[in-house]
Structure 1
C-alpha cells in the first residue's frame, strides 16, 4: 500500500540490522464474564484448530458489552507457516442474536493493541466496542501477532502479508462456524497499520462484505510527517512497561518514547488532554519489520483488487498523514485517493476535529455515526 515512506522505514530497518535476538511471550489469563453464551467452539475442516475459550484478568472489556475471550489458532503462512495463537474478544449486547448480527472485525494499528477500540477513558464517547454493540453489531476485537495478549514471534517475521493472512483466518473462523455458529456478514475496520492490513486482506482473499479504514492511505511522504515518525520510537527494551518481557530482547520490537504520543492527536481543542495519561499507560509496541514493510507496499496498487465497498477516513488534523498542511481537507496527500480503487466502491470521509487516532479525538462521535450510516446504506444494519 503504497505510502511513500522512506525515512522512518530506513530508521527502523537500521535498528533491525544493529541488533539480533528473540524469545517467546508467556500466556496471560481472565476476562469479561458471559452468561448464557449460546454455543461452543468446534473443529471445522480446513481450519488450523479449535478456538479455545480463555480468561485474561487484565483484559476485561470497558465496553459493558457481553464478551467472551478466545485464543484463535492460526498459521503465519499458507504453506508451511508457523503455528501461533491470537487472543481476541467476541462482544455483543445480546448473545441470543449472535449469528444474526453483522460482525465488525477490528484491526488496531502500531503502538496500540485492542484497547484502541475498547478505550477505558469516558467509554460512552470513546469506546468503539460499546458504541457498535449497542447499535446491534457483534465485534471481534483482537490483538495482532506481536501485540498485547497474542503470541510474540520474532519481530522480523511480522510483515503485512503475514498479518493479512492471520486476519483472513480469523474471518474464516467466524464464517465457517469455528466458534459454534457461522457469522455470514463480516466487515473489517482497520486503524492506521490495521487499515493497511484490512486492505491487503480484502484485496487478497475477497472474503469481507465491506471494509472501513482510518488513518492510512497512499502517497505518504511529507517531510514534517517523516520527521514526526522518525523521532517518536525507541527499542521496547528501554521502556519500563516492556523491559521485563522476554520478547523485548528482540530489537525489532519498538515502542513510543515517553511523552511523544500527542503526535497521534490534532491541535489543542480537538482532544481531551486527559487522554495522554491513558495513551502512556495503555500503549503497546510496533515492529521495525512492519514499519519497513510499509515501504515495500508503498509502490503497489493492491487496492485496485479490492471488490468490496470501502469507507476511507482521515482525521481532519492527522499530523502523521497530512503533514504538508496539517489539515486533511486541504492536504495534497488526500486528493487522489479515490483513483487507487475500483470505480463505485470508494467513499471518502474526513473526520472533523480529529487527529491520527480518529476514535480518540473529539470528532469520534461523528465518525462512529458515519460508519453506521455508511454501512446501513449498503444494507448492513445492526440487529437488536
Structure 2
C-alpha cells in the first residue's frame, strides 16, 4: 500500500503525482485548498527577502550559494503561518531559528495545479485537513473554514466521486498545523481514516 501525505506545496506535489500516475492507494492533503486568500498570500509574499540578507544563513554562505533563494524576514513567521493563541512560543522561536529557503520558481508554480483541475483526476480516497485559522486559504475572500462541512462543500467540486473526499478541520491552528497544540487531533483523524480505508 502506498499512501501519499503532503503539506502545502508538498500537497500540490501529491495532487500532481496521484492525479497523473494513478499509482497510489490514498492521499492525505494538508494545508491546501482550492481557494487562496489572495490578501493573506500577498502579505506572506511581502515578508520574503533574499536569503543572503538573513542572519540565519549568514554563516553558511561560505559553503552554500544562496543567491536567488528567498526566506521570510525575521519575526514574520508567526503572522504568516500560525494562529498565535494555539502555539507554544518556544515552537515559534525554534521555527524561526531553523527556517529554510524557497525559490521564486516554487511560488510561481504553486497556483497552476490549484486551477488546472489535476485533483479531479485522483481516483483514490482523499483526506483533506486544514487549520481552522489558516489565513492562506480561509476567510471571506477564500474558504469558510468554520467547520468540516463548509470546507467539504467548497472542495467537493474539485474531486472525483472515486476520491470519497473526507475533510477535517483543526481548531485553533493556522497553516503550520503540525506545530500547533491541537495537532494531535488531526493525527488521530488521519490514523482513523487510514484504518478505515486501508485496514490490514
Q: Give the TM-score range, shorter chain.
A: 0.7 to 0.9
Q: In 1, are the aligned partners of 2:83 and 2:134 still within 8 Å (CA)?
A: yes
Other-structure match for 2:154: 336
Q: Deviations over 1:23-59 (max 9, x none)?
A: xxxxxxxxxxxxxxxxxxxxxxxxxxxxxxxxxxxxx
Distance 2:140 2:53 in 1: 32
The separation in 2 between residues aligned to 1:191 and 1:247, in whole angstroms, is 26
Q: Which of 240, 247, 253 in structure 1 is aligned with 2:55?
A: 240
Aligned to 1:378: 197
2:42 maps to which of 220, 224, 227? 227
Aligned to 2:99: 283
Cα distance in 2 for partners of 1:241, 1:226 equals 23
Match of 1:266 among 75, 83, 107: 83
| Deviation of the 1:209 alpha carbon | 1.1
- The structure whose RCO (Cα within 8 Å, separation 6+) is larger is 2
Counterpart in the other structure of 1:293: 109
SS in 2 for 1:189: strand
- 1:116 aligns to what? none
The answer to whether the Cα contact below 8 Å between 1:222 and 1:323 also exists between their aligned partners in 2 is no
Which structure 2 residues correspond to residues 112-131 of structure 1 after superposition, within 5 A? none
Alignment partner for residue 210 of structure 1, among 26, 42, 54? 26
> C-alpha offsets along residues 310-357 of structure 1, whole Å, 9 cap, x if unaligned?
1001101112221438962169x9442111001152111111221111
Aligned equivalent of 2:171, options 345, 352, 357: 352
Distance 1:309 1:267 in 2: 32
In 1, distance between residues paired with 2:186 and 2:20?
27
Question: In terms of Rg, which structure is larger?
Answer: 1
Unaligned runs of 5+ in 2: none
In structure 1, which of residues 368, 379, 383 is the aligned counterpart of residue 187 of structure 2? 368
RMSD of aligned residue pairs (Cα, Å): 2.1
Contact 1:318 1:327 in 2 (8 A): no
Deviation at 1:299, TM superposition (A): 2.4
Q: Which residue in the other structure is 1:144 paired with?
A: none
Which of 109, 127, 136 aligns to 1:320? It is 136
- What SS does the corresponding residue of 2:57 show, helix, strand or coil? coil
Partner secondary structure for residue 127 of structure 2: strand
CA distance in 1 between counterparts of 2:8 and 2:94 reads: 19
**Conserved in 1, the CA contact under 8 Å of 2:37 and 2:138?**
no
The answer to which structure has the higher helix fraction is 2
Count of residues in Structure 1 that have an aligned counterpart in Structure 2: 192
- How many angstroms apart in 2 are the aligned matches of 1:207 and 1:272? 39
User: Cα deviations across residues 223-248 of structure 1 (Å, max 9, x unaligned)?
Assistant: 2x133222221111111222415330
